Amino acid sequence: MDDIITKIEKIGKNKYLIYINDEAVFALYYSDIKKCSIKEDMVIDPGLSASLKDILYERGLKRALYLVRSREHTAAELTDKLCASYYPLDTAKCIVEKLKAEHLLDDTRFARMYIEIYGDKKPALIVRSELKKKGIEAGLIDDLYDEIVGDDPDTELKQCLKLLETKFPLKKYSSVLEADNPKDIYTLKTKAMSFLARKGFSFDAVSDCVKEYFDI
């Protein structure tokens, strides 16, 4: 079956979405359409196909370079962003592989940086989940997490205590604690527990932390 341009839909000032066999496949600028003499009901021959691949690859590469220079990305993140900008999946994959080869894209580097930044601020479960959503393999996350954070069973407790020291400094709430009013202390502890729970910490860590922190 021939590949036929069945529709050219304007999606921006000078940008058009190209449909092949009634399926939206990629986007081109007006200058590209004019250069390649593209029109509806046109059969894509080998020569046109090669020209389109070159155009999409070069423009997609420029877009990818802009993205990775603005911040670190995972391979999956970059692939998704390119596809969302109407670059074909095979084009996006070729671009990603090129950037990997040039060390501009590195999932290990991204995961290491992410864990170094958030490993002592967020619960391990949250950090792991966020990295998986970004396309990092579970095995790589486990290895790096063990290397960087370690397997200290009190890690969550220490994280919670550090957060409470910032959010609920004892000096600020000393009058409540010294007054020893059960109702006021209960209210304060409940607020602290809710604060930590919203951060994603386990119930046991939250409970132990609040008890240790306010019972000093």
What's the average model confidence in pLDDT over 162-175?
88
Whether residue 1 is predicted with pLDDT greater than 80 in this model: the reply is no
Residue 178 buriedness (CB in 10 A; 0-12 / 13-18 / 19+) = exposed
Q: Per-residue pLDDT tens for 48-101? A: 999 999 999 999 999 999 999 999 999 999 999 999 999 999 999 999 999 999
Q: Which one, of 37, 45, 1, 38, lies nearest residue 21 by Cα? A: 1
pLDDT of residue 178: 79
Beta bridge partners of 42: 5
Cα-only R_g, the chain: 26
Task: Name the least confident of 87-96, 101-110, 158-167.
Answer: 158-167
Give the whole-angstrom CA distance, residue 177 versus residue 188: 9
Across the chain, mean pLDDT equals 92
Q: Per-residue pLDDT tens for 86-105? A: 999 999 999 999 999 999 99
Q: In percent, how much of the chain has pLDDT > 90?
A: 70
| pTM for this entry | 0.79
Task: Name the least confident of 23-27, 40-44, 149-153, 187-191.
Answer: 149-153
Give the whole-angstrom CA distance, residue 203 versus residue 37: 64
pLDDT of residue 146: 87
Whether residue 7 is predicted with pLDDT greater than 90 in this model: the reply is yes
Beta bridge partners of 29: 15
Whether residue 112 is predicted with pLDDT greater than 90 in this model: the reply is yes
pLDDT of residue 67: 97
Better-predicted residue by pLDDT, 110 or 149: 110
For residues 27 and 41, the answer to whether their CB atoms sit within 8 Å is no
Q: Where do we find the tokens 């990295």?
A: 131
pLDDT of residue 175: 85
Better-predicted residue by pLDDT, 85 or 121: 85
15: three-class secondary structure by DSSP? strand
pLDDT of residue 216: 57
pLDDT of residue 51: 95
DSSP 8-class letter at 185: H
Token pair of 39 as six digits: 């029109």
Q: In percent, how much of the chain has pLDDT > 70?
A: 99
pLDDT of residue 174: 84
Token pair of 20 as six digits: 């092949």
Give the whole-angstrom CA distance, residue 77 versus residue 105: 11
Give the whole-angstrom CA distance, residue 72 versus residue 56: 23
Whether residue 202 is predicted with pLDDT greater than 90 in this model: the reply is no
Q: Helices (DSSP H) in the chain: which residue ranges?
A: 30-35, 46-70, 75-84, 89-101, 107-118, 124-133, 138-148, 155-167, 174-179, 182-198, 203-214
For 175, other C-beta atoms within 10 Å of its C-beta total 9
Whether residue 4 is predicted with pLDDT greater than 80 in this model: the reply is yes
Side-chain-side CA neighbours of 132 within 13 Å: the count stands at 9
